[in-house]
Structure 1
């Protein structure tokens, strides 16, 4: 069995750009649905909510970077739990992550047809939005079956387009519509709009926007140089995501 496992090792083909693109595709895409959810609850404190959740995300990212370098194997948090505790804790962590992925995949896929409904109106309504989401998931599954190299190339392309689009929105927004008075005064009434309970509720909801950093750890066995590529890609993701998630809410308000 050990000999067979050695013969079937995953191919190390992913460099820092591919790892960054894969993680940013998971983390960065969440802004398309998380921002509206958080803004509806946190109101004028939405930027502060994303800053607080971003600090938590930075600590989580640093933990993943250190843990993946220490245990460079596919598994992420379940691998950390197995090495640090026991199989039971690892089992619980793995199932928690699986449920997390199921939820985020469903949310992301469901929102794709709603964004595309600008081209075809029925995609906004049932059952076409569900059908569209199912098609998106099917296409991504087929792409991953084809191979990690092909999936990585697509991830890099989509990550560049995604980040460039978000950066363009930020630059145009600051140039044309950003109003410090509106953001920091007119839309903000401490303890009233939002209430303190809504503010604290918005923080864990905002953490949905930062899910996906586990992806880098899961690809550790396919990284060319895990001790170098993993921490570097995680730091890139943390910096890019925090910058976008802090500035976009300012423009949205």
Structure 2
């Protein structure tokens, strides 16, 4: 029944003479990751690293959209969305612990089209976000006067060359580096909060002038109720990327147990960092003063415009937050690309691994693309907005996958079960759809760019790759087994 299900599922059976079908063992051996390389601590560090740069900069632009009250409510709602999403993904990751992550979950629940839609959205997020962060690293290096360098393509090239090279060396080494750099970034945030508290004043939280005519406008909501919605994408910056932890499933030790634990721990750390950073930074200097700056934490510690010891520490050590996020996002993008390629959705050569079991083309190709985008565009904020658009699509589809599997396969063995069940993923789905619409409010052009990329990818899938999928890939085999079981049940 299984071979029949593979061939019949959406018409995606492999072509006759296809080497992946002729010798699936050899095909997968050339596309194997190094298993057992990451335990709960390294995975938790990975989850925090994805996000930590968002605490240092970016979120403060939401003050210009919603004021302190609007951004606070937006961040709380987005925190709720991520909490519900992470709890839902923890269950799915325990059921299907493969490198496909969100693509694999959607493939099981929504079929090949749903899998490709989800995987493509995740790729948009994890290819564009590192390119944007590389631009921010360049700006940081220039502002600090490090080595006399100016922001430009040489800095971006060093970022990609150095950190992609470390990933090629091996996943264990890469994850340990991520953990160390992330620990420094978190320690820097702790230093910042301790210093900012001494300058804190509640009156500075709502010092943005009230916009005239806005519905519900007031000192805490200077741009009214609509400002809350417009601030959604910036509220996401405190958590954007944490959903990528399941992409490390094939390299984790005992993934069914460690992935849910690491996802919960990393989310807990991020919630605490978001709350402390947001409130103390705004209260130390004022919402109006930091709304438009590129280094809000540094400016929050310089009330008179003069550097202090604490601001210098945060300024220099803050670079580690950008490095941690850049490095971890490169990892996430390579694993999602690896899984889609291994299953045939993208060119299969992209999933080949080297002697140290790293997907070398899956690292080099998106790295080259990201470098080109950073060097050519220089628009870090717009690239991040495009990435946020892709992320919200993937969130909606992953939450929907949890709902579908809960309803369709209630007896599926679940080593970890989401607290609240379908209600939890339903909340994530509704909030993800709201955040998706909010991206149009902030940057319609970025949303249209993302839709254009999406359209081109779907055309490739519809005309070519959906007829050349690899049935022996773990995510595809998992879906085929489900189809076979359903057929046997009906018979």
TM-score strictly above 0.5: yes
Note the C-alpha offset of 1:109.
1.3
How far, CA to CA, are the matches of 1:250 and 1:9 in structure 2? 42
Q: Would you say 1:133 and 2:127 are equivalent positions?
A: no
Higher Rg of the two aligned structures:
2
Q: Deviations over 1:63-118 (max 9, x none)?
A: 11111001111111100001112011101111111011122112211111222223
1:65 maps to which of 90, 107, 110: 90
* CA pair 31-134 structure 1, distance change in 2 beyond 3 A: farther
SS state at 1:42 partner: helix
8 Å contact from structure 2 (residues 98, 247) kept in 1: yes
**Which residue number in structure 2 is paired with residue 164 of structure 1?**
187
Note the C-alpha offset of 1:31.
2.3
Note the C-alpha offset of 1:48.
2.9
How far, CA to CA, are the matches of 1:17 and 1:188 in structure 2? 45
1:235 maps to which of 248, 255, 264: 264
1:25 maps to which of 49, 65, 71: 49
Alignment length, in residue pairs? 248
1:105 maps to which of 119, 130, 149: 130
* CA pair 130-63 structure 1, distance change in 2 beyond 3 A: farther
SS state at 1:11 partner: coil
The structure with the greater share of residues assigned to helix is 1
Note the C-alpha offset of 1:38.
1.8
8 Å contact from structure 1 (residues 109, 134) kept in 2: no
How far, CA to CA, are the matches of 1:241 and 1:188 in structure 2? 30
| Greater displacement, 218-227 / 100-109 | 100-109
**Which residue number in structure 1 is paired with residue 103 of structure 2?**
78
* CA pair 43-129 structure 1, distance change in 2 beyond 3 A: farther
SS state at 2:144 partner: coil
8 Å contact from structure 1 (residues 111, 133) kept in 2: no
Calculate the aligned-residue CA RMSD, in Å: 2.2
**Which residue number in structure 1 is paired with residue 247 of structure 2?**
218
SS state at 2:99 partner: coil
Alignment of 1:173-188 (within 5 A): 173-174=196-197, 176-183=198-205, 186-187=207-208
TM-score where L is the length of structure 2: 0.48
TM-score where L is the length of structure 1: 0.89
Q: Deviations over 1:49-74 (max 9, x none)?
A: 22221111111111111110011111
How far, CA to CA, are the matches of 2:52 and 2:243 in structure 1? 13
| Greater displacement, 43-52 / 142-151 | 43-52
In structure 1, runs of 5+ residues without a counterpart are none
How far, CA to CA, are the matches of 1:243 and 1:194 in structure 2? 27
